[in-house]
Amino acid sequence: MDKSALFRDEKNKLFLDIMNSIKDGIWVLDKSGTVIWVNDAAKRGLFEADEVDLINQSVLDMEKRGVFSPSIARLVVENKQFINTVQVTKNNQKLLVSGDYITDEKGEIEFIVTHARTISEALNMNMELEKAEELLQRYKNQIRQMIHQKNKEQVVEPFVGKSKAFHSALEWLEKVADVDTTVLITGETGVGKSVFAQKIHQLSNRRDKPFVHLNCGAIPESLIESELFGYKKGAFTGANNNGKIGLIAAAENGVLFLDEISELPLHLQSKLLLFLQDKTYIPIGDSQVHQADVRIIAGTNANLLEMTKTGQFRADLYYRLNILPLTIPPLRKRREDIVPLLDFFLKKYNNKYQKEHILSGTLIKILYNYDWPGNIRELENLLERLVITASNKVINEQDLPSNFRQEETERAHLLDTLPESQTLTEYLNNIEKEIIEKTYNQLQSTRKTAAKLGVTQAYIARRFKKYNLKVTEKKNLTSRE
């Protein structure tokens, strides 16, 4: 396989044009250190060479000839991890160089991507290292996506986000997509569990087969078994005269996403476990065992492990589902993704409703600081509402629903000047007490209060004792509820 052909493909021209517009040097090499592609900055600024001079050359040979030292590609291969360091060229130019690798389907190094930038001041070193790492991660993900599209011959819509958690999830998806093992996706309501499940399906070898979504909490308990497993003709009064295939059969050779799996009744959990173990099931009213080749992905916002301790969820099913777990953190714990998501949904709904709205700086600041209890779903719904209802081109804080404006007013009030009669510690304690007390009064649950504020339940218990707050919930303070 001519790996350099990937960078001559006309389908990738826009991406390569973007890479060539970058003023820093970008190198792409194979695992042996042979140059596959470099951008214009690498050819023009660092070594004053043309493309013929660099393509197919070995950076290890360049290192031996003293063109530069050390070779970042060699360090990446030797250590099998992200590397950043200072590199010195033959003309004594100092560069800040970062390198990372992209793996093949077997997890072996396939490509090495390096990024080089001139160091103008030693005092800026630490800040530049952080910037270089972020830039390299961006380039690496873009190249990975381009490679994946080429290999799969299918365009997969990119995720929206820039946080470390986002990139980790993307790498995790690519690792588990092509295996058929069960996946358990956990996270708060609205974080995008169904989107992650669909992405696993799109990146897998089942992408051309059905993706079937069942929300276990949205169907009455009396009907969910027939929805899942189907039923035979005449199985019960009111049944369809021709019988009905279940969603397992409908997902044959594809993926079945069982959302809100914690809501699945106990008597059906044993049947699902049986299906997971040997891919067999029996429709209602049937005596014949059926087989289906279906990959199961489950999603929940509940703590299944705690539910197993109270007998609400089968422990054997939990461990069978939890082979490949993914926890999606809430937006308040990955705020770097908020602004990219605002931009994405603003463009989406501007296009949908033929508008040209923009967001004011003050509004963006308010939305960045907001905790988003409904996560991405809440953010998307708000952006659609603002695009529809805003009167002016620039959407500002006055266009927000009242609950957003009230929260921002309260936040500003808490940041007022420190009263002269209080020390800083006393002032901060009063703020913490007020926030905890208000949140608890709204939710009437120490567990939910802890989740809302992003701390542990034990922390809330200690603060209740410290501030002499009263617990009115039925269960005691340290219960798991």
Domain parsing of the chain, residue ranges: 3-155, 165-327, 331-414, 418-481
Average pLDDT over residues 82-111: 81
Q: Which two tokens stand for residue 434?
A: 């007020």
The model's confidence at residue 387, banded by pLDDT at 50, 70 and 90, is very high
Residue 118, Cβ neighbours under 10 Å: how many? 15
Q: Which long-range contacts (CB under 8 A, 24 or more apart) does 285-290 make?
A: 285/231, 285/232, 285/233, 285/234, 285/235, 285/236, 285/239, 286/231, 286/232, 286/235, 290/249
Torsion of CA 60, 61, 65, 68, to 10 degrees: -30
Whether residue 266 contacts residue 277, with contact meaning beta carbons closer than 8 Å, is answered with no
Residue 152: the pLDDT is 45
* Cβ atoms of 210 and 249 closer than 8 Å: no
Pick the CATH number of 165-327 from 3.60.110.10, 1.10.287.70, 3.40.50.880, 3.40.50.300: 3.40.50.300
Measured in whole angstroms, how far is the alpha carbon of residue 388 from the centre of its chain?
Answer: 28
Q: What is the pLDDT of residues 359-384, one digit of tens each?
A: 998 888 888 888 898 999 999 999 99
From the list 260, 273, 264, 258, the residue with the least C-alpha distance to 312 is 264
Taking residues 389-409, report their average pLDDT.
Answer: 81
Is the model's pLDDT at 199 over the cut of 60? Answer: yes
pLDDT tens-digit series, residues 404-440? 766 555 555 555 555 656 666 776 778 788 888 888 8
296, β-bridge pairs: 256
What is the average per-residue pLDDT within 144-156? Answer: 48
Side-chain-facing half-sphere of 337: CA atoms under 13 Å: 24
pTM: 0.55
CA dihedral sign, ordered 100, 104, 110, 111: negative
Contacts 24+ apart (CB under 8 A), 136-139: 136/82, 136/98, 136/99, 136/100, 137/100, 137/167, 138/162, 139/19, 139/26, 139/113, 139/115
Instruction: Check residue 478 and report its DSSP letter.
Output: T
As given in the structure block, the two tokens for residue 26 are 């970008």
- Predicted pLDDT of residue 259: 94
Query: With contact defined as beta carbons under 8 Å apart, do 243 and 232 qualify?
Result: yes
Give the three-class secondary structure for 42: helix
296 has pLDDT over 90? yes
Q: Quick one: CA torsion of 189, 194, 195, 200, rounded to 10 degrees? A: 140
Average pLDDT, the chain: 80
Q: What tokens were used for 433?
A: 């007490």
CA–CA dist 224, 265 (Å, integer): 9
pLDDT at 8: 64
Binned at pLDDT 50, 70 and 90, residue 39 comes out as confident
Q: 94 vs 441, which has greater pLDDT?
A: 441
Phi–psi pair at 69, nearest 5 degrees: -155, 135
| Cα(479)–Cα(402) distance, integer angstroms | 34
Looking at residue 156, what is its pLDDT? 40
pLDDT at 50: 45
89 touches 8 (CB < 8 A): no
Type of residue at 80: K
**Cα–Cα dist 387/377, whole Å:** 16
Question: Which of 135, 143, 64, 148 is closest to 111 using CA atoms?
Answer: 143
Average pLDDT of the residues in 21-50: 76
| H helix or E strand, kind and range, residue 451 | helix 446-453
Q: Does residue 266 carry a pLDDT above 50?
A: yes
| pLDDT at residue 252 in the model | 93
Give the pLDDT confidence score for residue 319 in this predicted structure: 95
Residue 234 pLDDT more than 70? no
pLDDT digits (tens, 9 = 90+) for 127-145: 555 556 555 665 655 555 5
The CATH code of domain 3-155 reads 3.30.450.20
CATH class of the domain comprising 418-481: mainly alpha
Q: Residue 321: CB partners within 8 Å, gap ≥ 6?
A: 182, 184, 261, 276, 296, 298, 304
- 125 pLDDT above the threshold of 50: no
What CATH class does 331-414 carry? mainly alpha
Tokens 């050359």, residue located = 57
Q: Which letter does DSSP use for residue 416 in this model?
A: S
